[in-house]
Structure 1
Amino acid sequence: MGIIRIYDPAMCCDTGVCGPSVDPELTRVATAIFMLEKENIDIRRFNLGSEPQAFIEEKAIKELLHEKGADDALPAVMVDGTIVKTGKYPTNQEFAKWSGLSEDKISSKPSSGNNITLL
């Protein structure tokens, strides 16, 4: 299992899943991250707009931003301290590979925890 870090572009909130029109890709990524966290995978996500210090403190990300600029570099993904993807979010298949979980486990929709049966 890898240590996964995602460096997001500046967004209005931590997940980007807010506002009047939600990007389905951000919803998929938020769901995958939720499922990984639920399985105790070491994954963290940083938003350039609200956590710029994380981008400065991680030397490889700081260099990537200097070289490519935020528009081309972000989102950026690090696994075990190595940048493995830039400019796009990971697929569920990539999340599965890096975490050691099955793709089905990552793609599952989170349960609401509500066990009410409507008659």
Structure 2
Amino acid sequence: MKKVEIYEPAGCASGTCDPMIEADLIRIERMVQDLRERGVSVTRYNVMDDMPAFMDSFVVKEAIATKGIDCLPLTIVDGKIEMMEKYPTDFALAKWAGLPWGDLEIYADREKREKTVLFGFSEDVTGNDCDDSDCTGDCNSCG
């Protein structure tokens, strides 16, 4: 399995948090626990609590120097940035973690159900505008 690292902004440290951001944080924590239970190495670093981890990572320092702190959250898999400025979907995170297709289908179905409940419509979570057959639909990892 692969090594997944998520470098996060201060987030809700002030005690006030946008409900959409809070929902995303809860979703990511649930997904991190799912991946850990499947044997995937997943580590979350918060800029307020884990500054040494930010300073120790060349990739993270370079991203912040180039794009500023707004590049957070950063999702890094095996030392390569897969996504910045937002949290990945469960499907994308599961795919990057190297889960088998049968498991990926579970996450794709879950996302489809959540979109239907939240937004009243359904769309293919792997739908995209590019020709990359491996695209996760997040459009930050497509060529």
1:33 aligns with 2:32: yes
CA contact (8 A) 1:11 1:48 kept: no
Q: Distance in 1 between matches of 2:58 and 2:17?
A: 35
Please name the residue that 2:80 is paired with.
Answer: 82
Unpaired runs of at least 5, structure 1: 108-119
Cα distance in 1, alignment partners of residues 51 and 38 from structure 2: 27
Q: Superposition RMSD on alpha carbons, in Å?
A: 2.1
Q: CA deviation at 1:93?
A: 0.8
Tell me the distance in 2 between the aligned counterparts of 1:105 and 1:93.
5
Secondary structure of 2:49 counterpart: coil
Q: Which has the higher contact order (CA 8 A, sep 6+)?
A: 1
Q: Structure 2: how far apart are the matches of 1:90 and 1:51?
A: 21
Q: 1:38 to 1:84 in 2, by over 3 A?
A: same
SS in structure 2 at match of 1:32: helix
Whether the 8 Å contact between 1:74 and 1:87 is mirrored in structure 2 is yes
List, as ranges, runs of 4+ consecutive aligned residues in structure 1 with deviation greater than 2 Å.
18-22, 103-107
Do the aligned partners of 2:6 and 2:74 also contact (CA within 8 Å) in 1? Answer: yes
- Tell me how far 1:19 sits from its aligned partner: 6.3
Alignment of 1:4-19 (within 5 A): 4-12=4-12
> Does the 8 A contact of 2:77 with 2:97 survive in 1?
no
Aligned pairs for 1:85-104 within 5 A = 85-101=83-99, 102-103=103-104, 104=106
- What amino acid maps onto 1:39 in structure 2? R
Q: Sequence identity, in percent? A: 32
Could you tell me whether the CA contact under 8 Å between 1:35 and 1:105 is conserved in 2? no
2:76 corresponds to which letter in structure 1? M
Q: Unaligned 5+ residue runs, structure 2?
A: 111-143
User: Which letter maps to 1:43?
Assistant: V
Give 1:105 shift: 6.3
